[in-house]
Amino acid sequence: MIKINKKDSIIDIIIKIDNCKEKDIVLDFSFWHPIIHNYTSLKILKAKSWKKELIIITSDKSAKKIWKKIWIKYSQLWDTDLLEYNYTPIQYTKYLFKRYLLELKQLFSDKSNNITFEYQKKYWLKKSKIGYFIIALIISIFLFFFIFYFAVNKTYIYITPEINIKTKAENFIFREVKKDEIVNNNIIKLNKISKLIYLKNNFWTSWINEQSLKRSKWKVIFYNKLNEEIDLLANTRLITIDWVILKSDTSIHIPKATYSSSWVIIPWEVEINVTSKIHNINWTISWIKSNLKEWILLTLPWLKDNKENIYAKTITEIKWASDNYQKQLTKKDIENAKNILETKLKQKALNELKKQIIENNKNNNTTTELLWIDWILKYSDFKILWTEQLKIASNINEFELSWTIKIIGYSYNTKKVLNQLSTTIRWTILKDIETFLFLNENSLRISNIIYKEEKPLNIKATAEIEAFFSHNFLTEKNNYVEKLKNIISWVDKNEALKILINNSKISNVKIEIRPFFINTVSKMTDNIIIKVINK
């Protein structure tokens, strides 16, 4: 294809034809070129093309009659014939757009030819139809922005609401009634239930008969490094680092230390007998700590100074015969055993009562539970048994106690209480604001006693339970949802995510914006669609 500029003469065009080596001569004329309106010039170009076919490409259709007389093939700008000359659809579009721009430039800037501006504008609008194309293009662009930014631009927000736990309470009347008696809906029937429990247990005696413990005697070496004699009375105490106490059997006289030829102190050593003490310095039995190895340091507890100059050491390993002892039953042992047995017995009785209620529910297909109020549970028929040999101060290591106890409690229908609580919650809930999810049945408890009568048992009490709620994002009357939409409208997607995820009523959030290439939330709140995803 040969591009013919506005200023190219007939000679310039002939030169370009001579240099063209393509099979056909395709001349692309600029808008309103004088040669395409000159019969002689076109005849010369036709003759110069020789045997090659001459094709003229232009949007100027005013010289169409001249081309037909000379048998010149031409193609208009918006015909699809150009696709036959190595133009892909993309190349054709680019060529078309550039050609329109060029013609617009020539229309408003080139006034060197003999055609008036008014004629050119009229020709451009009516003949070439470029004006229609531009108008259609502007309308298309406007429609594009309108559709995608106002009609099609939608934002889908997938919200997982945060679950809130609230404690709900209601007052109930619990009343002990006869088995077949009919009560009102606001009265919870109490059923009396009892259980007799037997328990026995072995207990160890804690007191050691100290007379049964043996004291042992050993020999130790006493050292004196002082330059003076030392006299110690009998029963002088010696202690170890673990506070084990030994006492000297006799009084002790220790001469003063001597010196060697090089004036090195030579301590005076005296071997003495000592006897072990049952209790240590804290008045507890020494037990295994009284078994001493050889050369263990012994000090005088009352001596503050010169501890490094007056001391003793064990000569051999000392083993205290502490395994041979007897334990003695005391009144305190029996009292402690009674307290422990009573606690275990009451716990066992309570567990057995609960097991019996579960078994009754299974057999009778009911849903009852123990009314858990401390003062309602009654214990009676206490009876402690032990053998006749069980006497205070008897030498025994262990003893056995057995005890029977009767527990009395009351059960009630939990299903009726739960249904009443659920109904009350549903009636009092803010329907356009909150969504009631479920009740935590395991959290049901009696929190407050308003009044009570024991015979027959009649109690007005407050029952509490944990209820699970979430915010209602789907209601049309929820102003909070509209407020959220106004906050995030026309906001960047990431910023909108931060705003929503930091909201206390939202656990998790996901945002999808359509079309995909738009990254801001829709400006129109009606196009912001909220959907709830439950956990």
Tokens of 452: 């009570």
Query: Could you tell me if 292 and 356 lie in one domain?
Result: no
- The reported pLDDT for the residue numbered 460 is 93
Q: Are residues 92 and 161 located together in one domain of the fold?
A: no
pLDDT at res. 125: 52
318: pLDDT strictly greater than 80? no
Q: Are residues 343 and 200 in the same domain?
A: yes
Residues 402 and 294 grouped into a single domain: no
488 is written with which tokens?
């995030």
**Would 416 be classed as within a structural domain?**
no
Is residue 132 one of the residues assigned to a domain? no
- pLDDT band for position 305 (cuts 50, 70, 90): confident
pLDDT at 32: 65
Residue with tokens 């029952």: 463
At 257-284, the pLDDT tens digits run: 888 878 888 888 888 888 777 666 665 6
Average pLDDT of 26-50? 77
Burial state string for 43-60 with b = 16 or more CB within 10 A and e = fewer than 16: eebeeebeeeebbbbbbb
% of the chain residues with pLDDT over 70: 77
Strands 458-471 and 2-4: unpaired
Residue 526, domain member (yes or no): yes
What's the CA gap between 523 and 517, in Å, rounded? 15
Orientation angle between helical segments 130-146 and 89-109, nearest 10 degrees: 120
- pLDDT, one tens digit per residue, over 236-250 is 888 887 777 888 888
Measured in degrees and rounded to the nearest 5, phi and psi for residue 244 equal -75, 135
Contact (Cβ atoms closer than 8 angstroms) between residue 74 and residue 60 = no
520, 534: one domain: yes
For residue 113, give the nearest of 123, 99, 101, 128 by alpha carbon: 123
| 300 band by pLDDT with thresholds 50, 70 and 90 | confident
- Rounded mean pLDDT of 15-27? 81
pLDDT at 362: 93
- Cα distances from 170 to residues 166, 419, 437, 460, in angstroms, run 13, 12, 19, 11
Same domain, residue pair 342 and 379: yes
Give me the domain span that covers residue 289: 214-324
Q: pLDDT > 90: what percent of the chain?
A: 27
pLDDT of amino acid 247: 84
What is the mean pLDDT of the segment spanning 54-64?
Answer: 71
| Distance set, CA 89 to CA 56, 58, 86 (Å) | 20, 19, 10
Instruction: Give the containing element (helix H, strand E) for 466.
Output: strand 458-471
Using the Cα atoms of residue 454, residue 459, residue 461 and residue 466 in order, give the sign of their dihedral. Answer: positive
* Phi/psi-derived region of residue 359, left when phi > 0, alpha when psi is between -120 and 50, beta in every other case: alpha
| Most confident range, picked from 10-14, 220-224, 346-350, 380-384 | 346-350
Please, what's the b/e burial string for 203-220 (b: 16 or more CB within 10 A of its CB; e: otherwise)? bebeebeeeebeeeebeb
| In-domain check, residue 32 | yes
Q: Is 221 exposed, middle or buried (0-12, 13-18, 19+ CB in 10 A)?
A: middle
User: Is position 468 within any domain?
Assistant: yes
Angle at which helices 117-126 and 89-109 cross, to 10°: 150
Q: What is the pLDDT of residue 84?
A: 42
pLDDT value, residue 85: 46
Domain final residue pick, 324, 350, 370? 324
Each residue's pLDDT tens digit, 406-464: 999 999 999 999 999 999 898 888 777 888 999 999 999 998 999 999 888 999 999 99
Range from 35-39, 208-212, 464-468 carrying the lowest mean pLDDT: 208-212
Please give the residue that has the higher pLDDT: either 65 or 221: 221
Point out the domain boundary residue: 96, 116, 136: 116
More confidently predicted of 99 and 373:
373
Mean residue pLDDT of the chain comes to 80
45 confidence band (pLDDT: 50, 70, 90): confident
- Claim to verify: residue 435 and residue 531 sit in the same structural domain: yes
> Does residue 178 fall inside a structural domain?
no
Whether residue 309 sits in one domain with residue 262: yes
In this predicted structure, which of 64-78, 170-184, 214-228, 361-375 has the lowest mean pLDDT? 64-78
Res 331 pLDDT > 90: no
Q: What is the pLDDT of residue 475?
A: 81
**Tokens 């009443």 — which residue?**
420
Q: How many residues does the chain have?
A: 535
Instruction: Tell me the two tokens of residue 58.
Output: 């232009």
* 102 or 300, which is more confident: 300
Cα separation, 507 vs 468, in Å, equals 14
Report pLDDT for 491. 93
Say what the pLDDT of residue 81 is: 45
Give the pLDDT confidence score for residue 165 in this predicted structure. 93
pLDDT at 210 over 60: no
Are 359 and 372 within one domain? yes
- In a 3-state reduction of DSSP, which class is residue 331? helix
Verify that 315 and 375 share a domain, yes or no: no
Residue 27 CA to residue 17 CA, distance in Å, equals: 9
pLDDT of residue 79: 44
Q: Rounded CA gap, 74 and 26, in Å? A: 9
**pLDDT at res. 80:** 44
What lies within 8 Å, CB to CB, of 460 at 6+ separation is: 171, 172, 173, 174, 449, 450, 451, 452
Domain match, 398 and 440 both: no
Query: Residue 465 domain-assigned?
Result: yes
Q: Per-residue pLDDT for 113 more than 50?
A: no
- 494 pLDDT more than 90: yes
Is the same domain home to 270 and 333?
no
pLDDT band at 78 (very low <50, low <70, confident <90, very high): very low
Tens-place pLDDT, residues 495-515: 999 999 999 999 999 999 987
Instruction: Take residue 358 and report the two structure tokens written for it.
Output: 């579960």
In this structure, is residue 358 part of a structural domain?
Answer: yes
Tally of structural domains, the chain: 4
